[in-house]
């Protein structure tokens, strides 16, 4: 049934066809791997988020899409669209229509919050620098959200900021734009005998073992093997993931796992052993990843994650220092925003309940 928006009729259709979904999604400029059919199916299987995949149509044409994850907790409903919805963000009336459809759906249910974090650029360059450049679509979208009562979220599920490398350049230009230190380390890896090969499904246990080692060394928690094995296997089999394994003297020492869709290739996972780190395998892997993505026709290599605050105290500063040596452009997205149709529920879930849990732990 069509759902009426505030001003015009937007027909909202539930999509149950995987090929139709992904093929249509590819046509939008802001398409993201986290909006694909496969990502919704993966989150449903591993974490219980039920995907609702809607096509927004006007005059028979699809003008927007959203993969909306729904989860029920104690009779209440949480709603999250990873990387938001896609549409033509330069058409504010259309954006308002889609927001109205989503808000209406949330209001008619015991919804704690509806969270969106579109892959929409707010600005590029470091904040308050000569390169700081606001983007009109992102600024207008933020203004729309504020005017409609949405709240900037304390819970930024995905990375808000990232670094993106322009793959439309030739390989010589990509190398030349790197910092001198990064370019030297790429060459050091080759001189020290690091080789890079495509990892297959048979290598998944090895990839996970390297990821475990990295987690232990860098102090972050990782999920059980089954979680990553399903993600990596499903996306590799669907032709949406590509893994590279670095070896030294016949031993695996590092890897990257790339996800790719539409115009972009994302550096989603990376890991390294404690052995042979002086051979600089991570630099060799990034270079080979960019070369592979470029050869496949992708125009953007997204390094997937940069600090929320560009300050040495930020938890991502060390990773950022590694990534920025490749001289990608800093991209700052609009971030995650919450719509709370029932304010008491939102306050209880986001403030009161966590405070009680913290008190009980103490």
pTM: 0.93
Domains of the chain: 3-123+134-158+335-361 (3.40.630.30), 163-332 (3.40.630.30)
pLDDT tens digits, one per residue of 67-88: 999 999 888 999 999 999 999 9
The torsion defined by the Cα of 273, 275, 277 and 283, in degrees rounded to 10, comes to -40
Q: Of the candidates 300, 215, 229, 292, which has an alpha carbon nearest to the alpha carbon of residue 266?
A: 300
Residue 288: is its pLDDT beyond 70?
A: yes
| Average pLDDT value for the chain | 94
- Residue 263: DSSP 8-state: T
Q: What is the pLDDT of residues 183-208, one digit of tens each?
A: 999 999 999 999 999 999 999 999 99
* pLDDT per position as a tens digit, 107-156: 999 999 999 999 999 999 999 999 999 999 999 999 999 999 999 998 89
**Calpha distance 211→207 (Å, rounded):** 6
Summarize the confidence of residues 218-224 as an average pLDDT: 91
Strand arrangement of the beta sheet that strand 241-248 belongs to? 133-134, 121-124, 329-333, 161-166, 300-302, 264-272, 251-261, 241-248, 195-199
Q: Which residue has the tokens 């496969």?
A: 38
- Output the pLDDT for position 164: 98
- For the chain, strand residue ranges (E) read 3-4, 9-14, 50-58, 61-73, 76-81, 85-87, 111-116, 121-124, 133-134, 151-152, 161-166, 195-199, 241-248, 251-261, 264-272, 300-302, 329-333, 337-339
Listed in sequence order, the residues at least 6 apart from 315 whose beta carbon sits closer than 8 Å to its beta carbon are: 307
Structure tokens at 121: 């650029």
pLDDT number for residue 350: 81
Residue 353 confidence (pLDDT):
63
The reported pLDDT for the residue numbered 70 is 97
Percent pLDDT > 70 in the chain is 95
Confidence of residue 361 (pLDDT cuts 50, 70, 90): low
Looking at residue 283, what is its pLDDT?
Answer: 98
| Predicted local distance difference test score (pLDDT) of residue 3 | 42
**How does pLDDT run across 292-315, given as a tens digit for each residue?**
999 999 999 999 999 999 999 998
**182: three-class secondary structure by DSSP:** helix
From CA 163, how far away is CA 316, in angstroms rounded? Answer: 12
């Amino acid at each position: 049934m069509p759902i009426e928006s505030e001003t015009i009729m937007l027909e909202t259709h539930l999509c149950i066809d995987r090929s139709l979904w992904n093929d249509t999604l590819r046509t939008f400029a802001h398409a993201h791997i986290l909006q694909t059919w496969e990502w919704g199916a993966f989150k449903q299987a591993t974490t219980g988020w039920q995907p609702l995949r809607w096509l927004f149509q006007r005059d028979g044409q699809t003008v927007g899409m959203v993969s909306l994850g729904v989860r029920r907790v104690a009779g209440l409903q949480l709603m999250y669209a990873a990387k938001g919805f896609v549409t033509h963000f330069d058409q504010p009336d259309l954006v308002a229509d889609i927001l109205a459809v989503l808000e209406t759906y949330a209001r008619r249910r015991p919804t704690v919050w509806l969270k969106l974090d579109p892959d929409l650029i707010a600005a590029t360059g470091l904040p308050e620098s000569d390169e700081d450049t606001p983007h009109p679509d992102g600024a207008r979208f933020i203004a729309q959200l504020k005017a409609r009562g949405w709240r900037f979220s304390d819970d930024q599920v995905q990375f808000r900021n990232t670094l993106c490398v322009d793959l439309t350049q030739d390989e010589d230009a990509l190398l030349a734009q790197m910092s001198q230190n990064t370019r030297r380390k790429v060459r050091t890896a080759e001189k020290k005998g690091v080789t890079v090969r495509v990892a297959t499904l048979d290598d998944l246990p090895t990839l996970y073992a390297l990821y475990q080692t990295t987690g232990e060394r860098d102090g972050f928690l990782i999920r059980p093997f089954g979680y990553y094995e399903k993600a990596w296997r499903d996306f590799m089999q669907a032709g949406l993931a590509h893994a590279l394994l670095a070896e030294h003297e016949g031993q695996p020492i590092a890897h990257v796992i790339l996800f790719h869709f539409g115009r972009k290739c994302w550096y989603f996972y990376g890991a390294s052993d404690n052995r042979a780190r002086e051979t600089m395998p991570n630099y060799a892997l990034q270079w080979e990843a960019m070369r592979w993505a470029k050869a496949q026709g992708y125009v953007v290599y997204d390094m997937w994650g940069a600090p929320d605050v560009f300050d040495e105290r930020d938890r991502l500063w060390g990773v950022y220092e590694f990534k920025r040596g490749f001289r990608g452009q800093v991209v700052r997205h609009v971030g995650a925003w919450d719509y709370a149709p029932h304010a008491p529920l939102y306050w209880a879930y986001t403030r009161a309940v966590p405070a009680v849990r913290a008190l009980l732990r103490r």
